[in-house]
Structure formats: C-alpha cells, structure tokens
Amino acid sequence: MAPPQRILIQTTIPPVADDWHAGRFSLLADYLRGLRGEDGAALFEVVARDRAAANDGADPVLANMDETDFDQLWLFAVDQGDGLSAEECAAIGRFRAEGGGLMVTRDHMDLGCCVCALGAVGKAHHFHSSNPEPDTDRWRPDDVETATILWPNYHSGSNGDFQTIRAEGAPHPLLRDPDAPGGVLPFLPAHPHEGAVGAPPDEPSARVIATGVSQTTGVRFNLAVAFEREPGGAGAAVAQSTFHHFCDYNWDPRAGCPSFVSEPPSDRMLIDPRGRWSTERYVRNLATWLAR
C-alpha cells in the first residue's frame, strides 16, 4: 500500500481573521482528506497553514520547503505583494526542481504578485504592475462593478455561482471526468474579478488547458496553465487564475467572507449540485496529477 501524498495548503499572510486565511479553504482541505483509494486508505494527508515568521522574518516551513516531507505545495497568494521572501521563493524552486508538485494561485490586479519570483510558474502569472499580459488590448478593466479593482479582473460571475469552462487543445488529465458529458469537466466556481495566467513562450512544458468567458465583455480568458512533469526532473505544476476556485465562500457562500468583499453572492452552487461536483472532481484530478 502506497503511503498517502502529503499536501501543504499554504497562504502568504499571517492568520488574520478578516482576510483570506487558511481557514477559509477548509472545504478544500476536508475534501482532500476524505478521499480514499480502492483499499479504503486515505490518499492524501493535508496540512493547512498561514504564514509564521521566524526571528529572521522568513516562514520556517516555506524557507525550507525542499527539506520538508511534503509532496505537494498548494500556494494561495492572498497578500498585497509582499507575501514571499527571496529565500522562500528559492526553497520553493528547489522543491519543484526535486520533483515536488506545485499549484500556485492568486487573484485580481496585483493581489498575490509576490509569485512572480517563482521561476517558470511565476512567469505564468500576469498582474497589473508586474509581468502584465502581453496583449495590450487586455490592459483595461473587464469587471466594472467594483471600481477600485483594476485589470486584470475578468468577471466570470458572482461568488457562489459557477462558470462553464472550455478545454483548450486535447483535454488535459486535470479536466477529465468519465461521468461528465464528453468526458470533460464542464464547470469551475465563478468570481467577479479573476486574475490572468498564460503559458510562458519559453517554457515548452507549459500550456493553457482551460478558459472561461467574461460575463461582462464576452472576452475569453485563461483559467489554468499546466506544466508537465519533467522525467527525472522538475515536478508538475499549475498556475490558476484565482484562489476563489478553491475558497469556502465560492463553494458555499454561507461560509462567509472578509468584510471588505462588497459584491452580493449567488446561491447557485447550493441549489445546483453540478457546480460543486465538477469542482471537486477538478480538485481530485489536481491532487492526483501533481503527485510525485
């Protein structure tokens, strides 16, 4: 019997109650912990934590990520741009280079732009002030309901709703579901202002695997970029357009949100089970595909 994969769900902020702390991803963590193999054994062990600073200011886990016994790092960049130090980025880079799986996600505008320093996966993330999208026609607001948030801010729907996604190219293993129409996952959670991701042109192992459509402008935008595992080398990785695809509030708006969230939520995830079902399948595929 193979030992369970060890997954670290990690935010880039200290444990602040009125923010997107690790506890706001509890449904994700609990779902992963509940997955079982054919023998009934747990497939994954999950640790969810926020930043903690040592005397030198570095997070003691992230700064030594390559020396931990974790197999996967799911990094939720929920900070305002200062969530990772150079030491931590270097350790995360070594972790992936040694075969660790990496999922990196952020949100709109410059939220989480500290991930730009994460090598190849960092280059897949586009922000307002750092590494903007190469197409300058996209340098304009998409969501216009929240005027304080600038581009990238793709409006795929309300929190608590779900969006129809499209597989790009041959359907990637992350999107496969034998029980779905056509064998491809149809939905992911929606969000009023998603960030931007793209496949770096100098990274041959990377490609865009899924896109969505803005409900405001009709513009198609990227949802996920997959980096294939390199035989005997770097681990698999994913750059995801927004952490709201994994957030309690987006899976079940009754879970609540920080006080600074002003947009009214939808209840569609509660009344139409297809959205949650598709999302959980994506999470299972992701955890399986990122495995060492």
What confidence tens digit (pLDDT) does each residue in 77-113 have?
999 999 999 999 999 999 999 999 999 999 999 999 9
Residue 54's pLDDT is what?
67
- Please tell me the distance from the alpha carbon of residue 111 to that of residue 7, in angstroms, as a whole number: 23
* 3-state class (DSSP) for residue 202: coil
Flag whether pLDDT at 171 surpasses 90: yes
Nearest alpha carbon to residue 239 among 133, 93, 84, 104: 104
Measured CA to CA, the distance from residue 10 to residue 23 in angstroms comes to 10
Say if residues 71 and 291 touch (Cβ distance below 8 Å): yes
DSSP one-letter code for 221? E
pLDDT above 70 covers a percentage of the chain that reads 99
Mean pLDDT of the chain: 97
Pair of tokens at residue 140? 């304009």
Distance CA 280, CA 266 (A): 19
Q: What is the set of domains in the chain, with CATH numbers?
A: 5-289 (3.40.50.880)
Residue 184 CA to residue 254 CA, distance in Å, equals 29
> pLDDT confidence of 55, banded at 50, 70, 90?
low
**In this predicted model, what pLDDT tens digit does every residue of 236-274 receive, in sequence order?**
999 999 999 999 999 999 999 999 999 999 999 999 999
Under a CB-based contact definition with an 8 Å cutoff, are residues 183 and 173 in contact? no
Torsion over CA: 254, 166, 128, 88 (sign) = positive
Given a cut of 80, whether residue 19 has pLDDT beyond it is yes
Amino acid at 71: D
pTM, two decimal places: 0.98
* Amino acid present at 275: G
Residue 28 reports pLDDT greater than 70: yes
- Alpha helices, DSSP H only, in the chain? 26-34, 86-97, 119-123, 248-251, 268-271, 274-289
- pLDDT for res 56: 74
Interval 110-124 mean pLDDT: 98
> pLDDT tens-digit profile of 249-259?
999 999 999 99
Q: What angle do CA 77, 68, 79 make, to 5 degrees?
A: 10
Edge-first strand listing for the sheet containing 72-76: 44-49, 5-11, 72-76, 101-105, 237-240, 220-227, 206-213, 166-167
* 138's tokens: 């996209």
